[in-house]
Structure 1
Amino acid sequence: MGTLDDLRNQRAERAEFEAKIAEVDARTRESVAAAFDEGLHWEAIAEATGFSKARVYQVRKGTRQ
């Protein structure tokens, strides 16, 4: 296997990782929305996700995916 084959394989591997990250991000958005629907405070959501207050609200609003 040559260098170009390595690069092609790495591109394919990256695409797989990016697809998985997109799936996790979508589930996280759903879970953040559900947490607010359940009446949880933003601080609890931030602690669970590791997000800042601003990021929690961005995810909630669907801005800055």
Structure 2
Amino acid sequence: MDGAGYEIIEAQDEFAGDLCLGSTETADHWSSYQGPSSELILDGKEALDRARHAGVFTVGWWVARPR
């Protein structure tokens, strides 16, 4: 976020110290989803899976303001 021009005011890991694996269903599980924003949901699922497999995953929140 710093590289995008934001100053981080506060950051919190919601499950500090706990292993968080995110969604573990296979992509096939979601491939038949036809509801609202299905492409967005499937793209998000794939992005979270890639992050999880790379070891970069957390459940947290940030407060930031533009520099």
TM-score (norm 1): 0.34
- Identify the structure with bigger relative contact order (alpha carbons < 8 Å, sequence gap 6+): 2
* More strand, by proportion: 2
* More helix, by proportion: 1
